[in-house]
Amino acid sequence: MEQNRNRKDDTPKNGGKRPKGNIWTTLIITVAIVLILSSLFSAISSSHYTETTYSHFLNAMETGNLAEVEFQYDRVLYLTKEAAALPPAQQKACVTGLPAGNVMELAGKLDAMGVKVNQVITEDNSIIMMILSYVITFAIFFLLVRTVTKRFSGDGMMGMGASKAKVYMEKQTGVTFQDVAGQDEAKESLQEIIDFLHNPKKYTDIGAKLPKGALLVGSPGTGKTLLAKAVAGEANVPFFSISGSDFVEMFVGVGASRVRDLFQQAAKVAPCIVFIDEIDAVGRSRDNKFGSNTEQEQTLNQLLGEIDGFDSSKGIVCLAATNRPEILDKALLRPGRFDRRIIVDRPNLQGRLDTLKVHTRKIKLAEDVDLKKIAQATAGAVGADLANLVNEAALRAVRQGRKAVNQDDLLVSFEMVIAGTEKKNTVLTDTEKRLVAYHEVGHALIAALERHAQPVSKITIVPHTSGALGYTMQMPEEEKYLQTADELMTELRTLVGGRAAEQIVFGVQTTGASNDIQRATALARNMVSLYGMSDALGLMAPASVNHQYLEGQAYLDCSQETSALVDQEVKKLLERCYEDAKAILSSNRELLDEIAQYLLAKETISGDELMAYVHAKDKPTEDGPCADTEDFEE
């Protein structure tokens, strides 16, 4: 099935003939314009001449008062010497009729008298020229008026009401469900819609109806638009794609016109799929805060009416995507409009592994590549992040002059996404390097000695472009979906371990711990206000999270007294963890010094080298998973 992109059918429904009313309207408008322009031209032309009599012309000729003369078959234009003496802007010629038969005789007399004769026209071509000028002018204006009236009658004001939807077919999208990984639940829900479009009878036999719409909800980069394109590739039906912002214009009514045009196009080629990306741009909840009858409200009302109006048995499915479902109008989300809400969540470990396999399908990989380790290290990453990681690794392999991507390329690309590239020109003083080394070892040593800590994979004191003078990377051994209070406390102690090492060894406080303190404060506040892990507040949760799919922060919704109590509890929690971190490092001061000196010598050490020091000193270590504690230094 072939469909033209942006195809519009201009043929009317009355047997393929255009309405006569449109042609007559065009003719009337064109005649009116030509007559008005002719009148204006005549008025302007007559204002440049003074009508006189032929005797006045002869009198001026006999008295020698003529400066210039022009003969035009049946009339003569002349300029007297008084008028010629005036400035050019003030000169005004005279015009009078000319008797037939004496044109050449008068021209000869004037020439003998020394009067300038500009032009002598003895044949009357003025009528032919006038007819030609009128015909050409009429034709030009007829075409212009016809074009304008077609746009007004068909697409709204100069085409602004026309839909900007594109028709995507399978050959044009080039995406199928094989290109989408890590979203098995979403693919299953969409697969049922595709099967309904292909085999409607097995559903209608039991009385089932095709869902009118499905709303794809998820964080940016999780693959909502990619899933919609995959639906187009799998369904092999016309696929209309438009962004919600394309409906919104400055002029009231344009958005509603585009909605009507979009669904009119869809009805002509049903069965088909209509996809509206970022629907929150047009589907925002209505209120009377700024009055009513706005462009956005009219567009939303028209969209609601169109979704209600089409018959799902014809095979029109409306898909939409958003990362802000909480601001959508309730009337848009009710059953009968968008019957399904499909969550496109961040992929789990297996999903990330499958996504990496998809993105490395066309990448030449070396034998040492272990995608499972990369998937473990990228907890919380979305599909777009993984695609970027693989591409950066391929670019690094090309820069290094290799023909294939190895494991080191993937790991370095992952670190580059986290901390940026290495700053080779940044030179730290010896004191600064020692401060950074002890700071990073403070993080790593607490993670190595504490229960429920993630294993340390790398420690470096090489500055990076993100502003980090060094960082400690921890890699989880397994994926976890829940965290206990003990695990969160361990993460807090690890975060403040860098500042604790600075205080113990140097007795100073530096700006390098700013990012650690920010992250520790945010975690402690969540423990108090969201997770119910405070003795003073108990199970009370005075905060709520807005825009959860946009990395939304928690906002306190409580009295001032409760807010002050939350601040006090957060401060107590951080102080307790800070004292615990100082106690751990003080009791292992010798080990702290040894590892810091080793790090100063090598600048970058692995987690295995760290644990070799810990085991060599017979320090007790207890395994157990915990949260990610990558360190970013300002």
CATH topology agreement for domains 48-123 and 166-343:
no
pLDDT at 120: 62
Instruction: State the Cα–Cα distance between residues 447 and 585, nearest whole angstrom.
Output: 11
Instruction: State the Cα–Cα distance between residues 223 and 229, nearest whole angstrom.
Output: 10
Is the pLDDT score of 45 beyond 80? no
Domain boundaries, the chain: 48-123, 166-343, 349-419, 430-616
Average the pLDDT over 241-252 and give the result. Answer: 74
With beta carbons less than 8 A apart as the criterion, state whether 582 and 411 touch: no
pLDDT band at 8 (very low <50, low <70, confident <90, very high): very low
The torsion angle over the Cα atoms of residues 505, 510, 513 and 517, rounded to 10 degrees, is 110
Average the pLDDT over 65-85 and give the result. Answer: 77
How do the residues of the chain divide into helix, strand and coil, expressed in percent and rounded to 5?
Answer: 50, 15, 35
pLDDT band at 26 (very low <50, low <70, confident <90, very high): confident
Average the pLDDT over 31-50 and give the result. Answer: 71
> Measured at the alpha carbon of residue 552, what is the angle toward residues 547 and 557, in degrees to the nearest 5?
85
CA distances from 619 to 247, 383, 449, 587, 611 (A): 65, 40, 8, 11, 10
Catalytic residue check, 440 = yes
Name residues whose C-beta falls within 8 Å of residue 337's C-beta, 6 or more positions apart in sequence. Answer: 212, 213, 304, 307, 308, 331
Q: Which residues of 444-460 are buried (b: 16+ CB within 10 A; e: fewer)?
A: bbbbbbbebbbbbbbbb
Mean pLDDT of the chain: 79
Is the pLDDT score of 90 beyond 60? yes
How does pLDDT run across 102-153, given as a tens digit for each residue?
A: 677 777 777 778 777 776 655 555 566 667 776 787 788 777 777 766 655 4
With beta carbons less than 8 A apart as the criterion, state whether 274 and 319 touch: yes
How does pLDDT run across 370-384, given as a tens digit for each residue?
A: 998 888 888 888 888
pLDDT at 177: 83
Instruction: State the Cα–Cα distance between residues 293 and 298, nearest whole angstrom.
Output: 7
- Among the listed residues 278, 306, 440, 633, the single catalytic one is 440
Average the pLDDT over 12-39 and give the result. Answer: 64
pLDDT band at 178 (very low <50, low <70, confident <90, very high): confident
How does pLDDT run across 312-327, given as a tens digit for each residue?
A: 667 788 889 998 888 8
Amino acid identity at 566:
V
Instruction: State the Cα–Cα distance between residues 137 and 141, nearest whole angstrom.
Output: 6
| 8-state DSSP, 405 | B
pLDDT band at 20 (very low <50, low <70, confident <90, very high): very low
pLDDT at 251: 59
Average the pLDDT over 206-226 and give the result. Answer: 85
| Range ranked top by mean pLDDT from 82-96, 105-119, 388-402, 459-473 | 388-402
pLDDT at 634: 35
pLDDT at 625: 33
pLDDT at 185: 82
Q: Which of 2-11, 398-407, 576-585 has the lowest mean pLDDT?
A: 2-11
How does pLDDT run across 594-633, given as a tens digit for each residue?
A: 999 999 999 889 888 888 888 876 544 444 333 333 443 4
Is the pLDDT score of 453 beyond 70? yes
Is the pLDDT score of 443 beyond 50? yes
Average the pLDDT over 533-550 and give the result. Answer: 83
Average the pLDDT over 520-547 and give the result. Answer: 88
Is the pLDDT score of 81 beyond 80? no
CA-closest candidate to residue 497, choices 625, 592, 570: 592
User: Can you tell me whether residue 8 is helix, strand or coil?
Assistant: coil
Options 3.40.50.9100, 3.40.50.300, 1.10.8.60, 1.10.260.40; CATH for 349-419 is: 1.10.8.60
Average the pLDDT over 75-89 and give the result. Answer: 76
- Give the pairing of strands 49-51 and 340-343: unpaired
pLDDT at 280: 86
Instruction: State the Cα–Cα distance between residues 92 and 83, nearest whole angstrom.
Output: 7
Q: How would you classify residue 472: left for phi > 0, otherwise alpha for psi between -120 and 50, otherwise beta?
A: beta
CA-closest candidate to residue 94, choices 53, 65, 44: 53
pLDDT at 582: 94
Angle 103-112/54-62 helices, nearest 10 degrees? 30
With beta carbons less than 8 A apart as the criterion, state whether 260 and 380 touch: no
* Domain over 48-123 is classified CATH 3.40.50.720: no
CA distances from 264 to 7, 213, 257, 316 (A): 11, 17, 11, 11
What tokens were used for 346? Answer: 């961040």
How does pLDDT run across 454-464, given as a tens digit for each residue?
A: 889 889 888 87
Higher pLDDT, 620 or 502: 502
Average the pLDDT over 268-272 and give the result. Answer: 80
| Range ranked top by mean pLDDT from 153-162, 341-350, 484-493 | 484-493
| Range ranked top by mean pLDDT from 291-300, 409-418, 547-556, 575-584 | 575-584
Per the listing, tokens 């028709």 go with 167
pLDDT at 119: 64
pLDDT band at 405 (very low <50, low <70, confident <90, very high): very high
Record: fold of 166-343: Rossmann fold (3.40.50)
Average the pLDDT over 209-225 and give the result. Answer: 85
Average the pLDDT over 218-223 and give the result. Answer: 87
Per the listing, tokens 């060094």 go with 470
pLDDT at 285: 80
| Range ranked top by mean pLDDT from 167-171, 253-257, 343-347, 569-573 | 569-573
| 8-state DSSP, 284 | B
CA-closest candidate to residue 329, choices 306, 292, 296: 296
Q: What is the DSSP string of 461-495?
A: ---BTTS-S-EEEE--SS--S---HHHHHHHHHHH
Domain with residues 430-616, CATH architecture = Up-down Bundle (1.20)
Name residues whose C-beta falls within 8 Å of residue 423's C-beta, 6 or more positions apart in sequence. Answer: 462, 463, 464, 465
Higher pLDDT, 236 or 438: 438
How does pLDDT run across 278-306, given as a tens digit for each residue?
A: 888 888 887 655 445 577 788 888 888 88
